[in-house]
Amino acid sequence: EQLKMEEELREAMRNQELELRYQPQVDSETGQVVSMEALVRWKHPTRGMVSPQEFIPVAESTGQIIELGEWVMGEVARHCLYWDTLGLNTFRVCVNISPLQFNQRNLPEWVADFLDQSGLPPGRLELELTESAIMNDAETNIAKLRALKALGVDLAVDDFGTGYSSLSYLKRFPIDTLKIDHGFVSDLDTSDGAAIVDAILALAKTLKLRVIAEGIENEYQLAYLVGKGCNLLQGFYFARPLYPEDVPNMLQTNFSKQIHTVIGARLAEENRSC
C-alpha cells in the first residue's frame, strides 16, 4: 500500500493533482479574518479527494514531503502575490512544516532563498511547527528557530499539548503562537478538557504568546474560548477550508456580530442560572 501510494504521489506532483485550500483564522476581538491556514489536498484520479492525514505520513516516511512542502510554499507565494494585486495584503498565511522539513539542516537558508525569490514579504508568513519536532533536541533547535525568526516570519506551535513540551524551552524559543489542538477543543464540554484549555490559555498569557484554538465547531466552544480570552479562532463554525478563489470574499467577511451574539447568549444563560 505504502509503495503504491509513494509512486502515485510522485505522479500526483508531476500531474498537478495537488491543490491548496485555505481556512480562515478569526480575531476574537474584531471578528476579522486576519490569517489563513494553507492545507494541502490530493485530487486522486480514481479515489477522489484523499485526506492529508492519509498521504502526509507516507510523504514524511519516504522523504517526498520535502518536495511537497516546497510546492506548498510556492503555491502560497503565487496565491498571495495574486491577492496582493487585488489589494488583499494584510493577512498572514500559515504553512504546515512537517518534522522532516524542520529537521533539514538548511531550512532557514531555504526559507531565506524562498522569500528572496518569491518576493513574499516575510511578515505575511507563519510557519506551523509541531511540538515534537521542536522539542526533540531542543538545544540545537533554539538556533534554528532564531534563524527562522530573524528572517521576519512568525512561528507557531501546532497541535500544542499533544506532545511533550519543556516549559523552560518554550520560554526560550522565539515563538509567536500556540495552537490549541482540536482534540482539546472538542473535549471542552468535559471538566478535564476545559481544564487543559484553561491551562494552555494561562500559559500563553504568561509567556505573552498569541493563542489560537482550532477545530471550533459550535457555539458552546466559541463562547468558552472567547470568554477566556483566546486571541484567534479557527474551525468549521466559521468556515471549512476554502478554494483559493473564495478567499477574497472571505477576507471581506466580519464575524463580530456572530461572536457578540454567542457571548451575549452565554451571559444571559449565566445570569438566569444565578
Q: Which positions lie near ligand C2E, rule CB under 6 A?
A: 23, 38-40, 51-53, 56, 65, 69, 72, 96, 98, 128, 158-159, 182, 214-217, 235-236, 241
Site string for Mg ion, 77-106 (x = CB under 5 A): -------------------x----------
* Closer residue to Mg ion (CB): 96 or 98: 96
Amino acid, res. 59: A
Using alpha carbons, list the distances in angstroms from residue 62 to 5, 43, 51, 54, 272: 10, 20, 17, 13, 57
Cα–Cα distance between 265 and 126 in angstroms, integer?
34
Provide the minimum distance between the beta carbon of 78 and ligand C2E in the complex, in angstroms, as a whole number. Answer: 14
- SS3 label, residue 38: strand
Find the binder of Mg ion among 21, 80, 158, 204 (CB under 5 A): 158
Told to check if 159 binds Mg ion by CB under 5 A, we report yes
Find the binder of Mg ion among 128, 184, 204, 255 (CB under 5 A): 128
Told to check if 25 binds Mg ion by CB under 5 A, we report no
* Closer residue to ligand C2E (CB): 185 or 201: 185
| Residue 213, number of CB atoms within 10 A of its CB | 30
Alpha-carbon torsion angle 28, 83, 250, 54, nearest 10:
-90
Cα–Cα distance between 23 and 250 in angstroms, integer?
10
Residue 27, binding choice from Mg ion, ligand C2E, none, Cβ under 5 to 8 Å by partner class: none
Looking up cell 479527494 gives 49
Spatial CA neighbour of 25 closest among 179, 130, 200, 202 = 179
Provide the minimum distance between the beta carbon of 238 and ligand C2E in the complex, in angstroms, as a whole number. Answer: 8
Told to check if 131 binds Mg ion by CB under 5 A, we report no
Binding interface with Mg ion (CB under 5 A): 96, 128, 158-159
